[in-house]
Amino acid sequence: MDRMRVEILHISECPSWIETARRVRQALDELGLDPVNVEIRLLQSRADASAETSFAGSPTILIDGSDAFPGATHSTELACRVYPTPAGLAGSPTQTQITDALRSRIPDEASRPPQTRTTGARTK
């Protein structure tokens, strides 16, 4: 399996990316995907934002180049993004939402905890 690519696109005026990055890292670790690096990318101009076809406000989480939370409108504006959460709108998805988004992008076998993964060995 190719290694998952995770990026967080953000602007300097929006501090929510810091908590988002922490939650993404925690979700990756929880799912046993700790070798996956999280690339943090600062967008500094409208040209940067327009070059990123998946940017939908800061922070935007990309998994293999696609928005982890599709449905938001692409934006060339350097603006903060809000996410619907169980507690209302927030500047970052919840830990559970991020974990679920990551889990939905990996094969079933890889999403199992290490002790329940099959090895292909047969037992008598």
pLDDT of residue 119: 41
Question: Cα(66)–Cα(84) distance, rounded to whole angstroms?
Answer: 18
pLDDT of residue 110: 46
CA angle 101, 110, 18 (to 5 degrees): 40
Name the DSSP class of 89: E
- List, in order of start, the domains of the chain with CATH numbers: 6-109 (3.40.30)
Beta carbons of 16 and 92 less than 8 angstroms apart: yes
Closest CA to 91 of 30, 36, 13, 2: 13
- pLDDT mean for each 10 residues of the chain (124 residues): 85 96 96 90 90 88 94 88 96 97 78 46 40
How much is the pLDDT for 17?
Answer: 97
- In the sheet with 38-42, reading across from the earlier edge strand, the strands are 38-42, 6-10, 60-63, 66-67
Measured distance CA(98)–CA(61) in Å, rounded: 9
- Provide, rounded to the nearest whole percent, the portion of the chain with pLDDT above 90: 64
User: What pLDDT score does 124 carry?
Assistant: 38
- Looking at residue 75, its pLDDT comes to 85
pLDDT at 38: 94
**Token digits for 60?**
């935007």
